[in-house]
Structure 1
Amino acid sequence: MADAQKIAEESIVLMKNVGNQLPLNAAAVKSIAVIGSHADVGVPSGGGSAQVDPPGGNAAPTPPAQGQQAGPGGGFGGRGGAQYFPSSPLKYIRAKVPGAKVEYNEGTDPAAAAALAKTAQVAIVFVNQPMSEGRDAATLSLPDKQDDLVSAVAAANPHTIVVSETGGPVSMPWADKVSAILEAWFPGIGGGPAIANILFGDVNPSAKLPVTFAKSENDVPHPQIAGLSLMPPPGAGRGGAGAGPGGGGGRGGMPPFDVPYTEKLEVGYKWFDAQNKEPLFAFGHGLSYTSFAYSGLHATAAGHSVTVSFSVKNAGKRAGKEIAEVYASLPAGAGEPPKRLIGWQKVDLAAGESKTVNLTIDPLYLSIFNEAKEGFEVAAGAYKISAGGSSKSLPLSQTVNLQ
């Protein structure tokens, strides 16, 4: 349990924190509304062959309400069929503030949830998007009108915090209406205490996004995939391997179809860079309850390898960990996307402390594939080496030449 909680704490990403809404001050908070995503009983898990059965059984075995649809994944991942680990965020939030009034609303009625939120000092809304290996998500939108739920609560309480429990990026049309956003992913059996520890500052968040969150579905390479219209309704058929695209030649009542990868090398953050599209939250983004400053980049080339060093300082008043990231822009004639991640290191710093990050970059990370030679090679020319806290925050840069 301790290891599971530690992993969850190191994985939760603080994506937004306006006015230092977080961490919550346990001594000052007198009332909290906790809303949605079965936070009263547990945290969700992903579906498919990697799914782990919750100890004691599913903590939230209730079916979808009338008129609602199960989420992507059918039997493996629908909101009603999703597996929930018995690790209740509500339980651990209450333990942080034993003298406060902490009330729960299931979130199926936005108006009722907003009414509760209006009476509370702080509102914490949990949202989820069930996911499974066996079925592609047809949209980035949260299921079951959860976007409406967040918007209603945010309109009722200016101190609204969202905890997102998803397996990947989702649309967040309400992002500018809430004061803080945590991406907790599917946090596992230690998820409840980990989320509470992040919310109240017992743990300083240090994770960074391994994906890009788009402002709009229209900003991704394929906003609509025509073949997904052939997908059987959630819950139909097996719902596991073979029930969705790529599931074994059309098994599960769905014919196979092709998806043209017209973006070629411009996958993920490389697409947003190449198309000059500003993401909602960039690849590598992640906030802390302290701040960090970068200085003194020194990059040297030796053969096909590059060594990089720079300083990271904790400029805040509390200890924290920073994942320092290094990117390379290849020579102009290489035909590559604007930059690629080539290295990173997590640095643990006391308040006011500085440390030097030293990285030796594997030549493979600087290579491109030569189809004619059927192998990887390092192109000769000028390489721009950049360092910073995310793919969109790189205050340090230097050019080196590789032969």
Structure 2
Amino acid sequence: MKRHLPFVLGCAALALGSGARAQQAPAVDLAAAQARADATLAKMSADDKVILTHGIMPLPFLPGAKIPSGAIFGAGYVAGIPRLGVPALTETDASLGVAWVGGLRKDGATALPSGLAQAASWNPDLLYRGGAMIGAEARAKGFNVLLAGGVNLMRDPRNGRTFEYLAEDPLLSGDLVGAAIAGIQSNHIISTIKHFALNGQETGRKYVDVKIAEGAARESDLLAFQIGIEKGQPGAVMCAYNRIGGAQACASDWALNKVLKGSWGYKGFVMSDWGAVPGVEAALGGLDQQSGAELDKALYFADVLKAKAGADKAYAARLDDMNRRVLTAIYATGIDKHPAQPGGAIDFAAHAQVAEDVARQGIVLLKNNGALPLAKTAASIAVIGGYADSGVLAGSGSSLVMGEGGPAATRSLGGDGPFAALMQQSYHRSSPLKAIQALAPKATITFRDGRYIADAVAKARQAQVAIVFATEWRTEGADQPDLSLPDGQDALIAAVAAANPNTIVVLETGGPVMMPWLDKVAGVVEAWYPGARGGEAIASVLFGDTNPGGRLPVTFPASLDHLPRPKLDGADWVEPNFGGDPAPGKDQLHADYDIEGSDVGYRWFARKGYKPLFPFGFGLSYTSFAARDLKVSGMSASFTLANTGQRAGDDVGQVYLVRRNGQPLQRLVGFKRMSLAAGASQSATVTFDPRLLADWKDGRWTMPAGDYGFALGRNAADLGQVVTVKLPARSWKD
């Protein structure tokens, strides 16, 4: 059986995926990296050994902040050891680009669309390009560690960080994050993968205790991480805030030692999330580096750890291993031989095009009664709401990225704490209104901000077409109370649609939302948070210059009652808090993931027979497609997609396991995005990862012998004829 390599930097080179991505990745000799790490470790004094094990958050607004020479305003700084040639680690958030940190550096960076927008492309090559782009900008700004690679599955659509992550499926999430990480590390910098693991909500995030059986975790959230590590080979893993089975994730012997480093053989290092370290004992639990130590109750991984190592052989051995892992990642990615220097050149125009390409491929057409694409000869268009005259919405928190000049518009949420600058609604400088005007220069185009429904309705009645931009802002540190559109936007859309039957809704959301007005509008476009060139990408889709080919990476539920937990755990008593500290006397918060187990998202809906508002994998086009000729042989399948319409477009072939020995189940086992000219067809072959056909039982993956049924789907709820094959029994360890 073909085995996937964990972070062993295997043999002569990193296994960074397939095709063009692998050819662009720097070759790494693991043996040489480990030998160098051991040689450096042998020269380290007791004081040296606690330099790489902790870092600070070099931001001047933190109380008592002292910024070392060589540090850059950003997420983190870990001092180097100059006499041994070990570079300092300069760290920045995040998966969507080089983070803004309130504009402290007086610079800008290119913002990729949100993680969900990237995942909606179903295109690993595109995520590699995006990763390579943000990695290049990080280098040019002097950073050598990018805190990217967010891959937590969407177990609850109300999660405030859903926009940062990718999908609800382990295969799609793992393949895509692996490609993004490989792109980042092609720049000779370290990428993380995060937040390990089972970090499914922001409510009480520092103390919510996740309950889940090991088999269910291995088959879902952990599998996404495992696939991402195998394909992307990240130099570091960032552990999460939450608890797992009573232990903090950053001190979880089971998650860090038994699974990550033991079962998977991971050789990189584990850094904590900022303020996630419970004590020095986390070192024995598998944590290698305390990040942003001033956000913890104490600095544990310096003098305290040194004293422990001097008195206890277990801590001494652990300390050597901690340093060995950090050094191996440094040497494997080459950040010592290819130092990042501030002031590097950045081709912002080329990078903006990458961001726009991602946005175009990730936009999903959810409804179209024939009103789209719009004619560029339209006489009059009313554009309403969503700050569309200024820009496009961005998600907030540590991942917020802003271009040169900062946001086009901001909406303060108030407050005066040290993180207030991160907790505001911000818009990228890419105006959909201006982009629409550019593509329909002869049209009479009016704009109303939507604050007054009567004003918006009056303009909608006067226009041939009304386009309502609806926004749903999300941020790290707080979950959504429900899935409605805030600020009365649902009522606005309903009123505009009643006034103009040709009403198009463009959604800029951080996750799934309800649509009580759906049957009243002519079209719905999900644009997510579309990044630095989002306005141009949206207009391109509206007018048909881009044929939408995005497919949903998450399920849009029809009702909160259809979720495994209709009531978000702790939402009735935990106050939104960026720091996430427990309320006095209320630190006992539990999330029972055993309810759905490994049946996350569409798997849960299939199991319960619930009909979603829009299913996983759904997306419309301005052309038509046929999916046919599914053939399964052993552990691979082939199929053909045909463009049966009148214009070129993209489609995604989706292969699902739907039955095993007569028992229904549903798992995505293969996918392929294809670009097809009108009338053209193309075949593809996908290989099944055996773990997607298996169960985790008694410390092993187990595939029972018998009949396995597969179907080629338009989406998770629209499946073709089942093809059944017999497969032999298999059992193996990671």
**TM tier, shorter chain?**
0.7 to 0.9
Contact 1:92 1:193 in 2 (8 A): yes
**CA apart distance, 1:77:** 7.6
The number of residues matched between the two structures is 373
| Unmatched segments (≥5 aa) in structure 2 | 1-351, 729-734
Cα distance change, pair 291–77 in 1 and its aligned pair in 2 (3 A): farther
The percentage of counterpart residues that share the same residue type is 44
**2 CA distance for matches of 1:333 and 1:288?**
35
Q: Which amino acid aligns with 2:622?
A: Y
TM-score, structure 1 as length reference: 0.88
**CA apart distance, 1:133:** 2.2
**2 CA distance for matches of 1:105 and 1:121?**
15
More helix by share: 2
Q: Of the candidates 61, 79, 84, which is equivalent to residue 410 of structure 2?
A: 61
Cα distance change, pair 155–362 in 1 and its aligned pair in 2 (3 A): same
Contact 1:15 1:180 in 2 (8 A): yes
What secondary structure does 1:324 align onto? strand
Please give the per-residue CA displacement for 1:262-301, whole angstroms capped at 9, x wherever unaligned. 2223221111111111111110000111010122211112
**2 CA distance for matches of 1:279 and 1:138?**
19
Q: Of the candidates 355, 358, 364, which is equivalent to residue 682 of structure 2?
A: 355
Pairwise mapping of residues 244-259 of structure 1 onto structure 2 (< 5 A)? 247=580, 249-250=581-582, 255-259=587-591
Q: Which amino acid aligns with 2:436?
A: I
2:702 corresponds to which residue?
377
**CA apart distance, 1:115:** 1.4
**CA apart distance, 1:225:** 2.6
Cα distance change, pair 394–226 in 1 and its aligned pair in 2 (3 A): closer
Q: Of the candidates 520, 525, 536, which is equivalent to residue 177 of structure 1?
A: 520
RMSD: 2.1
Q: Determine which structure has more spread, i.e. the larger CA radius of gyration.
A: 2
2:541 corresponds to which residue?
198
Contact 1:123 1:160 in 2 (8 A): yes
**CA apart distance, 1:219:** 1.9
The question of 1:11 aligning with 2:362 is answered: yes
**2 CA distance for matches of 1:331 and 1:286?**
28
**2 CA distance for matches of 1:315 and 1:223?**
41
Would you identify which runs of 4 or more consecutive aligned residues in structure 1 move more than 4 Å? 74-78, 251-256
1:260 corresponds to which residue?
592
**2 CA distance for matches of 1:252 and 1:5?**
46
The question of 1:401 aligning with 2:730 is answered: no
**2 CA distance for matches of 1:52 and 1:253?**
36
**1 CA distance for matches of 2:709 and 2:631?**
12
The question of 1:331 aligning with 2:663 is answered: no
Please give the per-residue CA displacement for 1:356-385, whole angstroms capped at 9, x wherever unaligned. 121111212222111x2x122222221111
1:281 corresponds to which residue?
614
TM-score, structure 2 as length reference: 0.49
Pairwise mapping of residues 192-341 of structure 1 onto structure 2 (< 5 A)? 192-225=535-568, 227-232=570-575, 239-240=577-578, 242=579, 247=580, 249-250=581-582, 255-261=587-593, 262-301=595-634, 306-332=635-661, 338-341=665-668
Contact 1:294 1:396 in 2 (8 A): no
The question of 1:390 aligning with 2:722 is answered: no
Cα distance change, pair 76–340 in 1 and its aligned pair in 2 (3 A): farther
Q: Which amino acid aligns with 1:259?
A: A
| Unmatched segments (≥5 aa) in structure 1 | none
**CA apart distance, 1:251:** 6.5
What secondary structure does 2:492 align onto? helix
**1 CA distance for matches of 2:693 and 2:404?**
45
What secondary structure does 1:111 align onto? helix
The question of 1:88 aligning with 2:431 is answered: yes
What secondary structure does 1:229 align onto? coil
What secondary structure does 1:163 align onto? strand
The question of 1:51 aligning with 2:394 is answered: no
1:346 corresponds to which residue?
673
Q: Which amino acid aligns with 1:97?
A: A
**1 CA distance for matches of 2:368 and 2:574?**
38
Q: Which amino acid aligns with 1:16?
A: K
The question of 1:146 aligning with 2:506 is answered: no
Contact 1:77 1:83 in 2 (8 A): no
**CA apart distance, 1:393:** 1.8
The question of 1:39 aligning with 2:364 is answered: no
Q: Of the candidates 449, 453, 456, which is equivalent to residue 110 of structure 1?
A: 453
